[in-house]
A and B are shown apart, each in its own frame.
Chain A
Amino acid sequence: MDNDKALRFNHRMSLKKVFSKYGSFYLFLLPAIIWYAIFAYYPMTGIIIAFKKYRYGLGVFGSHWVGLRYFKEFLADPHFYEIIRNTVVISLAKLIVNFPAPIILALMFNAVSAKIFKRTMQTVSYLPHFVSWVVVAAIIQKFFSPTTGLINDIRVSMDLKPIYYLGQKNLFLPFIVLSDMWKGVGYGSIIYLAALTGIDPTLYEAAEIDGANGWNKLWHITIPGISGTVGIMFLLSVGGLFGANMEQILLLQTPATFDVSEVIDTYVLKRGLNMNQFDYATAVGLFRSVISLALVVTANYLSKKFSEVSLW
């Protein structure tokens, strides 16, 4: 092993030696390196069509340059304001409401002493995470459908008029936020439960001897005990703020709610794949990717500064 370390720092180690010792490992990595080159890096070069007038016959590299035309067009797009607003509002609402939710759930689980109850409830809470968004959308439709839905079924039996819930503009945001919570809160609580089990139990004993009650212990031991994890997770979610929420929105939006449901991702999909405006859609997508990257880098910088934890 010492020999190994010496070799590592000896930059003159001959290529031959490196390959005779590590050749098989490079071989293991080769398929991955090729795969990433094709499926991750090659599409990055396709970004240049955001600056070109894309013609299928001419290809990505043969098409003519148009400079920032599509970015200007996007800024002047009549939907621009709406899309940006929806993206920000939905992302922020999810962050504000759904970030604390798993922490609260983990604290609730933590307060349970009956093991079987705790384990059953945890297992049950993970279930929605493992089903497809299509299934969740199907369930939501089944519950809130105007004709055959459970809620309207009950309303009708109470002599009330049925409501087309998914067509209500003011209900779209709650639908998105709450369905996201339903799907993710249990699974999200795993990391906080891990942090909670890491708290030294003797701290609680000591506090009890000092006469602390449940709230005292929560405020002075539990919360400080998980605050590190909470901080990291918060920075991670800020970094992923503009990240993919496309599937869920695509499945739950209806023509009646387009005003409040169209976000950058769904817009890219529609302009690009449904209307074949590849160049314009790529420009809009790039706009989002750059904001996302900036958010991740900023979040990482802050994380490094305040918690000494960073992604790289």
Chain B
Amino acid sequence: MNIETNVPKINSNKGMKIRKSRSQILGKCINYTLLALLGLIFLYPFWYCIVLSFNNGLDALKGGVYFWPRAFTWENYLKAFQNPLIFSSFRISIERTLLSVVLSVFMTALMAYALSQRNLPGRSGIIFYFYFTTLFSGGLIPTYILYRQIGLLNNFWVYVLPGLYNFFNAIVLRTFFYTIPESLKESARIDGCSEIQIFFKIMLPLSMPALATIALFVGVGNWNDWFTGAYFVTTKRELYTAATLLNDLLSQATFESSTGSTGQKAQINEALAASVSKATTPESLKMAFLVILTIPIMCIYPFLQKYFVKGVMIGSIKG
């Protein structure tokens, strides 16, 4: 800590003091106002979408709906869930996310527990074996060829298997395992516990905060991923996740506004058209869809905040 010793000394006469505190108060006001404004910028886009999703679609086309639904309706949500394509995509998203979270957290914890054994022979070599993959990878095309070779294309498991392990998550967990006292494990070993028993009965229960953080990271990543569905599940629309379907609806909109044709997206167009009634437009349906996709995360992350803040700090420091 370098503190410069020649900080200019300010005479603490009365006038100065009042001026200083005034400028401080002014600074505070500006800071609070700016932060509140930023808060609005972070929140309002979501609020705008929610408002539109609850507004009658045709009415919304007239414009002018900004802060509150003008013609309130549940219709968009009802239509969204009546649509078989939207409904199935949500089921796939939920299944994929739950399965990935359970498998990934468990397998990563096993890996991290082994890596937390400081005396494990060959440990640094094994860590480098894992770490190197974060520096260099085969790239998109060789990965695609691999998926094709092992039959992962257009297969539900493409959502789960390739994302099973993540080096960053393993490091966060390992760092947490370090904080559990060695003596605890040692006494369990003396009592005749096997390593797998220690893992299940001591490490996992004591690591709940860290596991919850990793579960959040894995869950959010899976729930939000649209790319896998869009490029590795190309022929089976019934396997689309909700995020991929939303992307399809969006690219269709861009496509239309730039070329005026619907092309290959006709199937989804039909499905959407079938669900359009007086109160619903493709636009309002899209908003309802967006809100449904975002609500689960909005509900979960504030509760896990104190954990993932710690997780981020650990992860950033250890690369």
Measured CB to CB, the residues of A under 8 A from B are 1, 4-5, 7-8, 13, 18, 22, 24-26, 28-29, 31-33, 35-36, 38-47, 49, 60, 105, 108-109, 111-112, 114, 117, 120-128, 130-135, 137-139, 141-143, 145-148, 150, 153, 156-157, 164, 166-167, 182, 186-187, 190-191, 194, 200, 203, 206-207, 210-214, 216, 220-221, 224-225, 232-233, 236, 247, 251, 254-256, 265, 268-269, 272-273, 278, 281-282, 285-286, 288-289, 292-293, 296, 311-312
Contact = CB atoms under 8 A, between A and B. Distances in A.
Interface residues of B, number: 106
14 contacts: A7-B119, A35-B165, A39-B162, A46-B138, A112-B32, A126-B305, A132-B226, A138-B286, A145-B253, A147-B257, A210-B7, A211-B10, A265-B140, A289-B136
B78 interface: no
Interface of B: 1-4, 7-12, 20, 23-24, 27-28, 31-32, 34-36, 38-39, 41-43, 45-46, 48-49, 52, 60-61, 63-64, 66, 107, 110-111, 113-115, 117, 119-121, 126, 128-131, 133, 135-146, 150, 161-162, 164-165, 170, 182, 194-196, 199, 220, 223-227, 231, 243, 246-247, 250, 253-254, 257-259, 283, 286-287, 290, 293-294, 297-298, 301-302, 305, 309, 312-313, 316, 319
A25 B164 CA distance: 19
Nearest to A280: B141
Contacts of A47: 138-139, 142
B140 A281 contact: yes
Given A112-B32, A135-B290, A138-B290, A214 B146 contact: no
A272 B226 contact: no
A22 B140 contact: no
Contacts of A289: 136-137, 139
B142 A251 contact: no
Contacts of B138: 40, 42-47
A254 B120 contact: no
A137 B250 contact: yes
B106 to A, nearest CB: 10
A285 B139 contact: yes
Contacts of A24: 194-196
Contacts of B182: 1
Given A272-B141, A281-B141, A39 B301 contact: no
Contacts of B199: 28
B20 A213 contact: yes
A129 B219 CA distance: 13
Contacts of A41: 133
Contacts of B114: 25-26, 28-29
B316 A191 contact: yes
B126 A29 contact: yes
Given A111-B31, A125-B39, A134-B247, A282 B141 contact: yes
The majority secondary structure among interface residues of chain A is helix
B50 to A, nearest CB: 11
B176 to A, nearest CB: 16
A61 to B, nearest CB: 11
Nearest to B130: A36
A28 B139 contact: no
Nearest to A193: B309
Contacts of B107: 31-32, 35
Contacts, number: 289
Nearest to B124: A312
B110 A31 contact: yes
Given A25-B120, A123-B302, A148-B61, A273 B231 contact: yes
- Contact residues of B: prevailing secondary structure: helix
Contacts of B298: 127, 130
Contacts of B194: 24
Contacts of A137: 247, 250
Nearest to B310: A194
Contacts of B319: 236, 311-312
A102 B226 CA distance: 27
A169 to B, nearest CB: 14
Contact of B142 (A7, A46, A112, A236): A46
Contacts of A44: 136-138, 142
B119 A8 contact: yes
A109 B51 CA distance: 29
A257 B175 CA distance: 45
Nearest to B133: A40
A312 B131 contact: yes
A143 B44 CA distance: 11
Nearest to B145: A46
A232 to B, nearest CB: 8
A58 to B, nearest CB: 12
A109 B225 CA distance: 31
B243 A134 contact: yes
A275 B170 CA distance: 37
Given A278-B144, A285-B140, 4 more contacts: A134-B226, A139-B290, A153-B63, A191-B313
Contacts of A150: 48, 66
A207 B3 contact: yes
Contacts of A225: 1
The 7 closest A-B pairs by CB, nearest first: A46-B142, A43-B138, A132-B224, A285-B139, A40-B133, A43-B142, A24-B195
Contacts of A206: 3
